[in-house]
Amino acid sequence: MPEYSTIVAHVEDRPGVLARVASLFRRRGFNIESLTVGKADEPGLSRMTIVVEGGAANVQQVARQLFKLIDVVSVVDISDQPVIDREMSLIKVSCRPAQLVEVGELVKAFRADIVDVGPQSIIVQVLGDGAKVEALESMLRPYGVLEMVRTGRVAMVRGQRTSKPAPVSLDAQEAEAARAQLGRRPEGALPFASD
């Protein structure tokens, strides 16, 4: 069972940024387990959640290489932190009308939803961490899984701490506090430092 690490990166919302990130991962031989991108709360930025194969030493190298890309504004390794991580999946299951109640109970037990009902099939929507998605899929498999799509993982650190880029202009005192929070780092702190 390979080890996985999770990185949150904020990148400029520009054409070609995904290609730069993908090119870097390919060239350096880092295996991506999952990569999701969406708009960040700060305008002009996208937020990527990247699940990458490898432990601490590998992810440090990934993070540092990633941060070298000019369009990457911040990189935070959240592997060691308590996080909420979620992915969503749509599962199209073969299901005759007579089976609907039975399948419906199963879906309810997972706090998932049936979002489409057809004569021969239904679509189940499930939200949760990867284990939950996989557990439901395995329970549905005996009915016949016709198709499945997973979004890949998004993650957020629990508590007050964020994985967002440090504000650009801070006064000296704030900067000191931010640095202390980021850990031991000099002026112009590298935002990926999560130690």
178 C-beta neighbours (distance < 10 Å), count: 15
Min. distance of Cβ 73 from another protein in angstroms? Answer: 4
Residues recorded for the chain: 195
In the DSSP assignment, the letter for residue 98 is: G
Under 8 Å between Cβ of 69 and 194: no
Select from 61, 120, 138, 181 the one that contacts another protein (CB under 8 A): 61
Which of residues 119 and 188 has its CB atom nearest to another protein in the complex?
Answer: 188
- Our finding on whether 185 is near another protein (CB under 8 A) is yes
Min. distance of Cβ 186 from another protein in angstroms? Answer: 4
Site string for another protein, 11-50 (x = CB under 8 A): xx---x--xx--xx--x-----------------------
Select from 34, 60, 81, 121 the one that contacts another protein (CB under 8 A): 60
- Our finding on whether 172 is near another protein (CB under 8 A) is no
In terms of DSSP bridges, do strands 32-39 and 45-53 run parallel, antiparallel, or are they unpaired?
antiparallel
Under 8 Å between Cβ of 122 and 116: yes
Q: Please, is 77 exposed, middle or buried when counting C-beta atoms within 10 Å of its C-beta (0-12, 13-18, 19+)?
A: buried
Binding to another protein, residues 102-131 (CB under 8 A): none
Select from 69, 88, 146, 148 the one that contacts another protein (CB under 8 A): 69
Which of residues 15 and 142 has its CB atom nearest to another protein in the complex?
Answer: 15
Give the integer Cα–Cα distance in Å for 46 and 54.
24
User: Tokens 């939950």 — which residue?
Assistant: 132
Torsion of CA 83, 84, 87, 93, to 10 degrees: 130
Select from 1, 57, 101, 172 the one that contacts another protein (CB under 8 A): 57
- Where on the chain is the footprint of another protein (CB under 8 A)? 11-12, 16, 19-20, 23-24, 27, 57, 60-61, 64-65, 67-73, 165, 168, 184-191
